[in-house]
């Protein structure tokens, strides 16, 4: 009898059971049903699976936000700020200190014009011709003729000076010698508005006068006044006014000295505690503001020193400290 093989190198295919036609249909039906159940179990329409997906996405989003907050954006350092400033300065033209100071004070500077009758103007010219001594910085005197003779009572422009608005109601500081003896005073604001003005106060020892304008611009801006306590020689200053009637004009310089004394030839008195400066000033600058690089008023330009009879600038000007000027207007000192 033949022994059965214990090992075979090849496997024989399992015999397939013979199914009847009815058995095949039943099997196919069972297979489709099972596939349908599996497909439904893993479909996204399943609420459990949908909420699971939402939960996973929320966890992932929270983790991402937490990581971003933890790491964060790099904080700006002083080196970053300095680099940005340097870049701006290299790529854009910045206004100078003097230009910024001028823009700050310009809306507060006014042109002051005094008018007298022709007969009085002739007398003043005769008196002025007698003296060849240095004079305080006076108004710019017009050079045109006096008009037809016989109209002695007609008003003519006697001179042009400068003023600065210190209270936005139209209170203006200027020099007394700009408006002294005038029959009429007119001021012109930075926007071109013209108005008459009256003298409401004087401080003769400091050659100061306070004017009140009859009308003012709607957007009147008063100057900012600053204490002179921290001024020192070498500090930059700007003088703004109408030299020889031209302006407003600006000239820059430095504080040359403090607590100077100037003797007025006309007044025969010593003006004390003056600020000496070297910013150019000429007739017409009288009463104008002397300002810092912030555009803040520290003085009222009042005189120049010139050892000749020519009233022109040679490098030494004087201004009344704003503390004195403020008291002339009834304002408390700083």
Catalytic residues, by residue number, are 177, 207, 286
- Residue that the structure tokens 């075979």 belong to: 8
**Tokens linked to 157:** 């422009």
Distance CA 151, CA 154 (A): 5
Quote the DSSP letter at residue 136.
Answer: B
**Closest C-alpha to 329, from 193, 215, 188, 163:** 163
Distance CA 292, CA 321 (A): 13
**Tokens linked to 84:** 């940005």
- Residue that the structure tokens 């000007």 belong to: 317
Distance CA 258, CA 232 (A): 8
| Cβ atoms within 10 Å, residue 222 | 17
Distance CA 240, CA 301 (A): 9
Cα angle for residues 246, 289, 325 (degrees, 5° grid):
135
**Tokens linked to 179:** 């408006």
- Report which secondary-structure segment, H or E, holds 35: helix 21-41
3-state secondary structure of 42: coil
Cis, peptide link before residue 248, omega less than 30° from 0: yes
């Amino acid at each position: 009898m033949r022994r059965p093989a214990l090992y075979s190198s090849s496997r024989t295919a399992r015999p397939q059971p013979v199914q009847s036609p009815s058995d095949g249909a039943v099997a196919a039906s069972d297979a489709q049903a099972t596939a349908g159940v599996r497909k439904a179990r893993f479909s996204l329409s399943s609420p459990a699976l949908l909420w699971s997906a939402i939960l996973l996405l929320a966890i992932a989003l929270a983790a991402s936000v937490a990581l971003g907050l933890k790491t964060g954006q790099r904080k700006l350092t002083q080196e970053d700020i300095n680099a940005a400033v340097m870049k701006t300065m290299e790529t854009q033209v910045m206004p100078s200190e003097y230009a910024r100071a001028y823009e700050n004070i310009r809306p507060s500077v006014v042109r002051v014009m005094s008018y007298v009758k022709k007969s009085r103007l002739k007398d003043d010219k005769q008196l002025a011709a007698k003296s060849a001594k240095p004079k305080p910085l006076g108004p710019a005197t017009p050079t045109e003729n006096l008009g037809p003779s016989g109209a002695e009572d007609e008003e003519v422009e006697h001179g042009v000076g400068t003023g600065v608005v210190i209270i936005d109601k139209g209170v203006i500081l200027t020099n007394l010698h700009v408006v002294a003896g005038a029959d009429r005073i007119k001021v012109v604001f930075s926007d071109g508005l013209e108005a008459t003005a009256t003298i409401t106060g004087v401080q003769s020892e400091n050659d100061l006068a306070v004017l009140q304008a009859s009308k003012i611009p709607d957007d009147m801006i008063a100057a900012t006044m600053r204490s002179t306590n921290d001024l020192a020689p070498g500090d930059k200053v700007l003088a703004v006014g109408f030299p020889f009637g031209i302006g407003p004009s600006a000239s820059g310089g430095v504080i040359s000295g403090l607590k100077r004394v100037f003797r007025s030839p006309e007044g025969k008195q010593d003006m004390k505690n003056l600020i000496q400066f070297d910013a150019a000033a000429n007739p017409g600058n009288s009463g104008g503001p002397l300002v810092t690089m912030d555009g803040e008023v520290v003085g009222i330009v009042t005189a120049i020193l010139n050892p000749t009879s020519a009233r022109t600038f040679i490098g030494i000007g004087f201004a009344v400290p704003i503390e004195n000027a403020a008291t002339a207007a009834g304002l408390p000192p700083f």
